[in-house]
Amino acid sequence: MCGIVGYTGHKDAGKVIISGLKRLEYRGYDSAGIAVKNEGSIYLQKKKGRIDQLDETEVPKYDAGIGHTRWATHGKPSDENAHPFLDCDENIALVHNGIIDNFNSIKDELLDKGHEFTSETDSEVIVHLIEENYHGDILEAFKKTIEFIEGSYAVALIHKDSNELIVARNESPLVIGVGSGENFVASDVPALLDHTKDVKYLLDGDIARVTRNEIEIWDEKDELVERETKRIDWDVEDAEKSGYEHYMLKEIFEQPKAIHESILGRLTSFDDVDLLKYDIDSVQFIACGTSSHAGYVGRYIFENLAEIPCTVEVSSEYRYTSPSDSTPFTILFSQSGETLDTIAAAREARKRGCNTLAVTNVMDSSITREVDEVVYTQAGPEIGVAATKTFTTQVIILYLLAIELGLKKGVLSRDKAEEYKDELRRLPRKVERILDDMDKIKDITERLSESRDIFFVGRNINYPVALEGALKLKEIAYIHAAGYPAGELKHGPFALLTEDTPVIALAVKDHTFQKMLGNIGEIAARNSPVIVVGDEDREIKKLADDFYFIPETTPIFSPLLVNVVLQLIAYYTAYRLDRDIDKPRNLAKSVTVE
């Protein structure tokens, strides 16, 4: 939700900022803007639409500036509502990511004092309030202003008379890139990778002054503090398309590697977290979107391998449920680690007395500070808005955790655990085999791209995969899709089945397979085209209009393989429809608003 970049140093600030913003475009793409310090003034350019709308050639060459890419919350996407914002006297430029809850009352006061506003945004109040508090020292004015602001923010500003950046964070991510004779700020690491791999993560309440040679940070008590410099192990190539037409396709193809890296060193002993410390007799999974589907798959994995009863909650609902006496061990999934609903759910779970574990892909992300334990997925940066490799690696972590718990509880034998671990080792190769078949999968999508509605059905552990397949298709192909337990269609949705409504049925040879065959027969009898993804079977070849058989695996591991097929189905359907696959309309990669 909005990306911020700031630069001060010996390079052309405009170039550094615009290239950094391009790496953050996944955070929002409703408008973009840049402000650089010019000779005694501030040069500003901001436009509705994507970063490419900005004319880089017009930006004067100066050594400090800030930029922004927006996902609209308050005020529609427009030139006026684009960041940065200037104060009335055009001395200060500011960019903001987050939401200012009390902006209305601040704005009223500022209007009474004669300030003129140019936008409908909440963000603009900050720069006018700083102007009001400014008496020659921009840092002091900023510190005073922050005291009045309620809500979430990552903020960066420049003053026309100085080439320092003043930045702050509260519940919205902000990282400082440490260079030599230059320093950077950004909402996320990919914006920095062309210049530095050394970063300092700001904590909530931190305010920093960043000059080309110095970084000073004050904590929430206004004490000068040191924040550790950490080395990022991602490469620039990880954040680039490397010859693929879309990030999403690249990320789908990175899955064998991502699985490998996520199990690496964890099969002999999974010591990221000491589960023995906790008395785990029930588990609740909490997350949003694709990450919540990982939770639903997790429920089946944990109940099977560790015999632990589980529930799954969507983050935005969980915090409004009534607390009960039970305190299940709580596992929260968030690729970004910045999803506000999931962070709020983590706080709520703790408040209710639950021990909490976050599974995230982003080092030091906000959620890591809200939980007792953290496990990282090791998927590498995921830029495409549609989550792919991070779902796969979240599920991998679930297998590892469940095997560990099953062994510790004595409900899983050593031999069985070894069998599962061997299959985990084989999974990257099996995913590669599916990827080698991409042309076959692409052919399946011909009829899908012409459909208005598509159903996905699954049973047991593949029911959540049906949900995920439907979400992916909706998100990037803009085709209405719904996931159902296969047995549920006849309780209502059958009324929608016609010969123009394809059904993608996930049929894996577990204890529900015969029932699934029955369901496929019922769908075919309504003349809906049936596409089966699952285990090879003669009956399916007869019943289905089209099919793709996954490499052989134990049913409990089938969700991973089936899901890779569904990712490719969504991708190629969207491709045929010429959709903006990496940046689907109205969405952003990390959702930092409620």
2 catalytic residue (yes or no): yes
In single-letter form, the type of residue at position 252 comes to: I
Four-point Cα dihedral 379, 382, 385, 388, nearest 10? -30
Contact pick of 196, 334, 445, 462 for ligand M6R (by CB under 6 A): 334
- The verdict on 339 binding ligand M6R (CB under 6 A) reads yes
The 10 Å Cβ neighbour count of residue 345 is 30
Give 435 or 587: the residue with its C-beta nearer to ligand M6R: 587
Q: How many CB atoms lie within 10 A of CB 40?
A: 7
Backbone angles phi, psi at 280, to 5 degrees: -100, 100
- Regarding 387 and contact with ligand M6R (CB under 6 A), the answer is yes
Restricted to residues 531-560, the positions that interact with ligand M6R (CB under 6 A) are: none
Nearer to ligand M6R, 165 or 385 (CB): 385
Among 87, 124, 475, 546, binds ligand M6R (CB under 6 A): 475
Which residue lies nearer to ligand M6R by CB, 387 or 574? 387
Contact between 590 and ligand M6R by CB under 6 A: the answer reads yes
| Biggest CA-to-CA distance, the chain | 80
Q: Which of 22, 37, 46, 589 is catalytic?
A: 589
**The one segment of 164-172, 248-256, 329-337, 426-434 that binds ligand M6R by CB under 6 A:** 329-337
- Which one, 42 or 395, has the nearer CB to ligand M6R? 395
Least distance CB 500 / ligand M6R (angstroms): 26
| Contact (Cβ atoms closer than 8 angstroms) between residue 127 and residue 92 | yes
Residue nearest ligand M6R, Cβ-based: 289
Alpha helices in 28-159 (DSSP H): 103-112, 124-133, 138-148
* Phi (first) and psi of residue 466, to 5 degrees: -65, -40
Query: With binding defined as CB under 6 A, does residue 385 bind ligand M6R?
Result: yes
Q: What x-and-dash track marks residues 280-319 binding ligand M6R by CB under 6 A?
A: --------xxxx----------------------------
Least spacing, CB of residue 171 vs ligand M6R, in Å: 14
Q: Which residues contact 54 (CB under 8 A, 6 or more apart)?
A: 18, 32, 33, 34, 45, 46, 47
Unique residue bearing structure tokens 């900005």: 54
Q: Cα–Cα distance between 396 and 333 in angstroms, integer?
A: 12
Based on CB atoms, which residue is closest to ligand M6R, 6 or 28? 28
Residue number, 200 or 293, with CB nearest to ligand M6R: 293
In the bound complex, what is the minimum distance in angstroms from residue 151's beta carbon to ligand M6R?
20
| Among residues 336, 377, 393, 592, the one that binds ligand M6R under rule CB under 6 A | 336
Least Å distance, CB 22 to ligand M6R, is: 20
Q: Backbone dihedral region of 251: left (phi > 0), alpha (psi from -120 to 50 degrees) or beta?
A: alpha
The H helix count followed by the E strand count for the chain is 16, 25
Axis-axis angle for helices 438-448, 558-576 (nearest 10): 60
Q: Apex CA 216: angle with CA 213 and CA 217, to 5°?
A: 150
Instruction: Kindly list the distances between the CA atom of residue 361 and the CA atoms of 62, 382, 551, in Å, as whole numbers in the listed order.
Output: 35, 9, 27
Distance of closest approach, residue 202 Cβ to ligand M6R, in angstroms: 19
Q: Total number of residues binding ligand M6R (CB under 6 A)?
A: 16
Q: Which is nearer to ligand M6R, 33 or 458 (CB)?
A: 458
Q: Is 342 in the site for ligand M6R (CB under 6 A)?
A: yes
- The backbone torsions φ and ψ at residue 169, rounded to the nearest 5 degrees and listed phi first, read -135, 145
> Which residues carry out catalysis?
2, 589
For binding to ligand M6R (CB under 6 A), which residues are involved? 288-291, 334-336, 339, 342, 385-387, 471, 475, 590-591
